């Protein structure tokens, strides 16, 4: 769960690598480092702390290099410190690594017995020692790396350079993402495209077990047995500006405000209102085959799991197919019963979450078809799935997911309509109406932004509390969970999401005037129940914040803590309820002076178990 980048070409590698690292900082930010060849001599700079610290430490040195690798770390083995920061080096062979070497202790002990001396607590250092031991036997860096790889178990993407072969950059990928960027006589490797997006949009996406040997002249790719491979070039249709803050104080805020655009891009070309048909043209699962699915599993982690829960409600309510939402880390180990006529929908922003990928593989093992709802083109989940529904939200840099979540909800809504139509659970008239509602969604999201000032007032009132309770029902119960997760992640306030009907089965005991209770009051069949829940909280001296789908309910109109959001159908209300919760978490975190885009202990893509 780190970010790696490498460069070889005609420009000074050092600023390119530092700027690239900044785009990867969302993947980990407890220490950073860079290695390059300066006047043919290997130089390494590392430090604990953020990339800024590394940048400041080298800014007064007049360094120049045409090749280098760099790393931003999220510690797994060994505390964040200079000695544990990457790159690691043994005898002029330097490695940056993202992933975990599961058998590193065993390897380390064997190497120690042979006289190798270790200078860090990391799993990565064993890779350097292994490569170096083969290099000592006379192998070049490519073949020494190939031999070393045979000893490694686990997940790794690697960037390697060697002092003795200053014109070669080696990249290896196994279960952690690695992309090669193809410029004009210059090449990049990185964990994610934004790292080099301002230099090239043409990429080769490496698959597991592949190695790239890159010189200034070009890229050659082979498997671990040195069999040459032909790989296709993919052009990424993201703009470099998409990965910048564009005047916003934080990526999270920018990404909240990007939601109308992200939703528009996700729905573009997806349906025709003439017949109320959804367009799933790029799906390899044929639309006509959708009706054969008897059971749907939705599997994901974190925020994406909250989208999965909403998806369950949408699918059962619209398509009348039994659906289960599972946390990927549970699904992969709980021996799930997955009948052959099941569809497993994995939901993942990054497409690289280790538990989600493992669950996806488990589903395939059972013979189920897999649909990936994913934001990152060419990520592992998309490559392994039978079909992909891309959420075109653009790069999401803030660790707290916002636009990726609401576009997942939109993707699930569209897919549920397609499923319902094919199953005959809804007719064309109904699907036209449901799809038509989508066209109004981006504008209604814009209208929800007008609530920002009221939300700031509420944030100012409550930013110092220790606990928060979020209540919702039905489709908006997962939105309560998501609101609580957003607050926890970025403001470090303890927050719990609960189905409102469960309140009296336990959490009601917590209520006092120190704990605000935020209630999502949607229209429809559970409205009155939610109003009763509000009364129950008030009767116990609790402070209520209500987010109410428009239409003024008498009993709420006098409360200073009430926010009205635009009305829309019950499925899409999940998107509109999400916006004030994102803004509330954001403003509370700002007032608490938290590090919003890089919350403590977190990383954007959890590529380790």
Place of tokens 């994901």: 300
One residue of 174, 191, 303, 387 binding ligand AGP per CB under 6 A? 303
The total of other beta-carbon atoms located within 10 Å of residue 334's CB is 12
Decide if residue 160 touches ligand AGP (CB under 6 A): no
Decide if residue 6 touches ligand AGP (CB under 6 A): no
Segment near ligand AGP (CB under 6 A); pick from 78-86, 99-107, 141-149, 393-401: 393-401
Residue 276 beta carbon to ligand AGP: minimum distance, rounded to whole angstroms: 30
One residue of 31, 329, 348, 562 binding ligand AGP per CB under 6 A? 348
Interacting residues with ligand AGP between 554 and 593 (CB under 6 A):
none
Decide if residue 349 touches ligand AGP (CB under 6 A): yes
Decide if residue 191 touches ligand AGP (CB under 6 A): no
d(CA 500, CA 436): 30
Burial class (CB in 10 A: 0-12, 13-18, 19+), 541: exposed
Decide if residue 391 touches ligand AGP (CB under 6 A): no
Decide if residue 400 touches ligand AGP (CB under 6 A): yes
Decide if residue 356 touches ligand AGP (CB under 6 A): yes
User: DSSP string spanning 235-265?
Assistant: E----GGGGS-TT-SSHHHHHHHTHHHHHHH
Give the residue among 164, 262, 251, 152 at the shortest CA–CA distance from 208.
152
Q: Which is nearer to ligand AGP, 6 or 483 (CB)?
A: 483
Give the C-alpha distances (Å, rounded to integers) separating 61 from 31, 45, 87: 20, 11, 19
Decide: helix, strand or coil at residue 327: strand
Q: Which is nearer to ligand AGP, 483 or 542 (CB)?
A: 483
Structure tokens at 281: 């043209």
Query: Nearest residue by C-beta to ligand AGP?
Result: 302
d(CA 496, CA 210): 43
Binding to ligand AGP by CB under 6 A, coded x per residue (else -) over 259-298, reads: ----------------------------------------
Residue 356 beta carbon to ligand AGP: minimum distance, rounded to whole angstroms: 5
Which residues have C-beta within 8 Å of that of residue 58, sequence separation ≥ 6? 14, 34, 45
Binding to ligand AGP by CB under 6 A, coded x per residue (else -) over 474-513, reads: ---------------x------------------------
Residue 257 beta carbon to ligand AGP: minimum distance, rounded to whole angstroms: 17
Decide: helix, strand or coil at residue 187: strand
Residue 11 beta carbon to ligand AGP: minimum distance, rounded to whole angstroms: 32
Under 8 Å between Cβ of 169 and 104: no
Decide if residue 382 touches ligand AGP (CB under 6 A): no
One residue of 5, 18, 212, 301 binding ligand AGP per CB under 6 A? 301
Under 8 Å between Cβ of 166 and 215: no
Q: Which is nearer to ligand AGP, 399 or 455 (CB)?
A: 399
Regarding beta strands 234-235 and 277-278, do their DSSP bridges make them parallel or antiparallel, or are they unpaired?
Answer: unpaired
Which residues have C-beta within 8 Å of that of residue 321, sequence separation ≥ 6? 293, 294, 295, 296, 315, 419, 423
Total residues at the site for ligand AGP (CB under 6 A)? Answer: 15
Residue 603 beta carbon to ligand AGP: minimum distance, rounded to whole angstroms: 8
d(CA 167, CA 452): 53
User: DSSP string spanning 175-186?
Assistant: BS--EEEE-SS-
Cis amide bond preceding 120, omega within 30: no
Decide if residue 302 touches ligand AGP (CB under 6 A): yes
Decide if residue 407 touches ligand AGP (CB under 6 A): no
Q: Which is nearer to ligand AGP, 276 or 483 (CB)?
A: 483
Segment near ligand AGP (CB under 6 A); pick from 215-223, 266-274, 398-406, 524-532: 398-406
Beta-ladder partners of 494:
467
One residue of 350, 380, 476, 570 binding ligand AGP per CB under 6 A? 350
Residue 125 beta carbon to ligand AGP: minimum distance, rounded to whole angstroms: 27
Interacting residues with ligand AGP between 589 and 608 (CB under 6 A):
605-606
One residue of 72, 353, 431, 561 binding ligand AGP per CB under 6 A? 353
Decide if residue 399 touches ligand AGP (CB under 6 A): yes
Decide: helix, strand or coil at residue 460: helix
Give the residue among 30, 153, 168 at the shortest CA–CA distance from 94.
168
Beta-ladder partners of 67:
8
- Length of the chain in residues, anyone? 609
Residue 400 beta carbon to ligand AGP: minimum distance, rounded to whole angstroms: 4
Segment near ligand AGP (CB under 6 A); pick from 118-126, 188-196, 348-356, 494-502: 348-356
Which residues sit at the interface with ligand AGP, rule CB under 6 A?
301-304, 348-350, 353, 356, 399-401, 489, 605-606
């Amino acid at each position: 769960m780190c970010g790696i980048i490498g460069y070889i070409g005609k420009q000074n590698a050092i600023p390119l690598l530092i700027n690239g690292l900044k785009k990867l900082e969302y993947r980990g930010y407890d220490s950073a480092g860079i290695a390059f060849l300066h006047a043919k001599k290997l130089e390494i700079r590392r430090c604990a702390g953020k990339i800024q610290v590394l940048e400041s430490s080298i800014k007064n040195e007049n360094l120049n290099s045409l090749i280098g690798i760099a790393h931003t770390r999220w510690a797994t083995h060994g505390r964040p410190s200079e000695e544990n920061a990457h790159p690691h080096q043994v005898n002029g062979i330097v490695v940056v690594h993202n992933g975990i070497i599961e058998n590193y202790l065993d390897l380390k002990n064997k190497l120690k017995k042979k006289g190798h001396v270790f200078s860090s607590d990391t799993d990565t250092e064993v890779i350097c020692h292994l490569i170096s031991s083969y290099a000592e036997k006379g192998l070049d860096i490519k073949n020494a790396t190939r031999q070393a790889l045979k000893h490694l178990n686990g997940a790794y993407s690697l960037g390697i350079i060697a002092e003795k072969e200053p014109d070669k950059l080696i990249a290896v990928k196994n279960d952690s993402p690695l992309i090669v960027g193809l410029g004009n006589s210059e090449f990049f490797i990185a964990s994610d495209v934004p790292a080099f997006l301002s230099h090239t949009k043409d990429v080769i996406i490496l698959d597991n077990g592949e190695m790239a040997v890159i010189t200034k002249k070009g890229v050659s790719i082979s498997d671990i047995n040195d069999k040459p491979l032909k790989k296709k070039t993919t052009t990424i249709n993201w703009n470099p500006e998409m990965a910048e803050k564009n005047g916003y104080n934080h990526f999270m805020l920018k990404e909240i405000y990007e939601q109308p655009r992200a939703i528009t891009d996700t729905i573009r070309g997806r349906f025709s209102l003439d017949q109320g048909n959804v367009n799933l043209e790029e799906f390899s699962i044929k639309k006509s085959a959708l009706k054969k699915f008897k059971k749907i599993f939705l599997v994901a982690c974190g925020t994406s799991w909250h989208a999965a829960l909403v998806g369950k409600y949408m699918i059962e309510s619209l398509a009348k197919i039994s659906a289960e939402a599972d946390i990927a880390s549970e699904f992969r180990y709980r021996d799930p019963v997955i009948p052959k006529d099941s569809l497993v929908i994995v939901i993942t922003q990054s497409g690289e979450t280790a538990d989600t990928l493992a669950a996806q593989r488990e589903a395939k093992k059972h013979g189920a078809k897999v649909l990936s709802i994913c934001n990152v083109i060419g990520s592992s989940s998309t490559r392994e799935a039978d079909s992909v529904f891309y959420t075109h939200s653009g790069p999401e840099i803030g660790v707290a997911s916002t636009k990726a979540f609401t576009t997942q909800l939109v993707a699930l809504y569209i897919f549920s309509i397609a499923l319902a139509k094919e199953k005959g659970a809804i007719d064309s008239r109904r699907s036209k109406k449901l799809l038509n509602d989508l066209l109004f969604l981006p504008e209604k999201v814009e209208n929800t932004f007008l609530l920002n000032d009221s939300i700031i007032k509420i944030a100012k009132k409550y930013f110092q509390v220790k606990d928060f309770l979020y209540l919702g029902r039905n489709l908006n119960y997962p939105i309560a969970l998501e609101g609580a997760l957003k607050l926890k992640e970025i403001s470090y306030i303890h927050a719990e999401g609960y189905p409102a009907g469960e309140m009296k089965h336990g959490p009601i005991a917590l209520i006092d005037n120190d704990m605000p209770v935020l209630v999502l009051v949607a229209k429809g069949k559970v409205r009155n129940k939610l109003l009763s829940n509000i009364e129950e909280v008030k009767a116990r001296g609790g402070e209520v914040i209500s987010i109410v789908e428009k239409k003024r309910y008498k009993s709420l109109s006098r409360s200073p803590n009430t926010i009205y959001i635009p009305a829309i159908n019950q499925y899409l209300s999940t998107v509109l309820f999400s916006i004030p919760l994102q803004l509330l978490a954001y403003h509370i975190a700002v007032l608490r002076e938290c590090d919003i885009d890089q919350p403590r202990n977190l990383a954007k893509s959890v590529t380790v178990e």
